[in-house]
Chain A
């Protein structure tokens, strides 16, 4: 009985904690607009002669990284979700980046 009562009391609180901080539909539209603007800038970067060489590479990685982080944090709700989910995803991401660096260094591609 105690367990049932606790469950009834705790469940909505947990539900609220999971969902109350999520952005509103209006905020989702705003996020999408920001993503669209970043994409437009990203497409323009290769044709701007001022951004040449490593600056272009850095800018493209930076803009791509911002878009990536915004989608993961705000659309996938990782910013608001349990740290465990974040940990699993970051482990995968770090694994991918490590493999990327090791492979390219091994074959002297960078």
Chain B
């Protein structure tokens, strides 16, 4: 009887894990859907104020070649992320770790580029309170940068967890969910790069 009870308990636990995985993935997609609206609001605000510079600097200070290089780095990080996920599905932990670390490194490179860009803009007089253009620009790109920073932390945590063999598919944030988040950060940048940078020059 006791054995039956234990078996039932194990089965229930297994069933819970089996059922929870798609639920977490659904939750991630709901979250990403809501993030679309969040960034949609930010981009709309930027477009509303794109010409309201109050005599300060506007989009003419954008360094398109530099931002293009940053965009390329972030785009390629989506490739390394999907390769990490692919390796994880094949239970190849070494490759998973390499690609996860590569993705985190590319993300950190993008962030470093953004910090450099912000420093340059501030030197040229574009500060957050300078104009509605400055406020909406920094709010949009800054929030995106915060998302990238969170992604880098998650990726680094995954890489570290994989070292001790604690990278699970059915518990917590797994490689697939972090991958979805990371690709989302990339697609948001695709829109920002087009609307905020390329359309303004």
Chain B contact-residue range equals 35 or more
Q: Are A67 and B48 in contact (CB under 8 A)?
A: no
Q: Are A71 and B32 in contact (CB under 8 A)?
A: no
Cα A102 to Cα B201 in complex, Å, equals: 25
Q: Are B40 and A39 in contact (CB under 8 A)?
A: no
A-B contact count (CB 8 A): 123
What total of chain A residues lie within 8 Å of the partner, measured CB to CB?
A: 46
Q: Which residues of B contact A103 (CB under 8 A)?
A: 41, 44-45, 48
B76 at the interface (CB under 8 A from A): yes
Q: Are A89 and B186 in contact (CB under 8 A)?
A: no
One of B43, B186, B198 near A71 (C-beta < 8 A):
B186
Q: Which of A88-107 touch B at CB < 8 Å?
A: 88-93, 95-97, 99-100, 103-104, 107
One of B11, B33, B86 near A89 (C-beta < 8 A):
B33
Closest to B43 in A: A100
Q: Which residues of A contact B75 (CB under 8 A)?
A: 32, 35-36, 39, 67
Closest to B78 in A: A75
Cα A92 to Cα B191 in complex, Å, equals: 15
A17 at the interface (CB under 8 A from B): no
User: Which of B64-72, B121-129, B139-147, B149-157 interfaces with chain A?
Assistant: B64-72
List 10 A–B pairs whose Cβ atoms lie within 8 Å, in order of A's numbering: A25-B83, A31-B79, A39-B68, A43-B68, A67-B187, A75-B82, A75-B186, A88-B32, A92-B37, A103-B45
A residues sitting closer than 8 Å to B (CB atoms) are 4, 7, 11, 19, 22, 25, 28-29, 31-32, 35-36, 39, 42-43, 45-46, 57, 60-61, 63-64, 67-68, 71-72, 75-76, 82, 84-85, 88-93, 95-97, 99-100, 103-104, 107, 109
B residues sitting closer than 8 Å to A (CB atoms) are 11, 18, 22, 25-26, 29-30, 32-37, 39-41, 43-45, 47-48, 64, 68, 71-72, 75-76, 78-79, 81-83, 86, 89, 179-180, 183-184, 186-187, 190-191, 193-195, 198-199, 201
